[in-house]
Amino acid sequence: MVTLERITADNFEECISLTLTERQRDFIASNAYSLCEAYALTNHELYTPMPYAIYHGDRMVGFTMAIYQPKDYNDPEDDEDVYYLARIMIDQQYQGRGYGKAALQKMIDLIKTFPHGPATCVVLSSNPENEPAYSLFKSFGFREMGMMDAGGDNYLRLDL
């Protein structure tokens, strides 16, 4: 069974030692970068980071992170409360076993409890050339928003 577990002093080193193929590393930040980002956002006035290790039983197989982003009333273009699915990765040796799909479902189930506040959708950005990830997101009902992020990846959304 796949579970999402908190990153702690006991498991963060294992998390940053998870690996991807060289090609996949082009599509996602390293787990070390993501954990630094989560730490840096801890005291952000708006955003709340939600980093989790993905376990299959007792074994860590991946990492995922969402960021709760309520609307910024100082930004007229920011008119929606969203959970941003910033990262999801499964270590290369454990891919293709259904763990990514199960972990994404767990993260969406968690988001649907609105742990840090209300939201209307889950948003993420992904590169269509990243076929496994893109088709995974599409299979969950994520749809293109017709916008790209700064890196040229498509924004996708899943209404809640």
Ligand X SMILES: CC(C)(COP(=O)(O)OP(=O)(O)OC[C@H]1O[C@@H](n2cnc3c(N)ncnc32)[C@H](O)[C@@H]1OP(=O)(O)O)[C@@H](O)C(=O)NCCC(=O)NCCS
Binding site for ligand X (CB under 6 A): 20, 24, 27-28, 88-90, 95-101, 126, 130-133, 135-136, 139
Decide whether 71 or 101 has the Cβ nearer to ligand X: 101
- Structural contact between residues 136 and 104, judged by C-beta atoms closer than 8 angstroms: yes
The percent helix, strand, coil of the chain (3-state, each to 5) is 30, 30, 40
Report the nearest approach of ligand X to the CB of residue 126 (Å): 4
Q: For residue 89, how many other CB atoms are within 10 A of its CB?
A: 26
What residues contact 14, with CB distance under 8 A and at least 6 apart? 53, 60
Decide whether 86 or 119 has the Cβ nearer to ligand X: 86
Strand order across the 154-159 sheet: 2-6, 48-56, 59-69, 82-90, 121-126, 154-159, 143-148
Report the nearest approach of ligand X to the CB of residue 113 (Å): 22
Decide whether 25 or 117 has the Cβ nearer to ligand X: 25
Report the nearest approach of ligand X to the CB of residue 61 (Å): 8
Decide whether 3 or 135 has the Cβ nearer to ligand X: 135
Report the nearest approach of ligand X to the CB of residue 92 (Å): 8
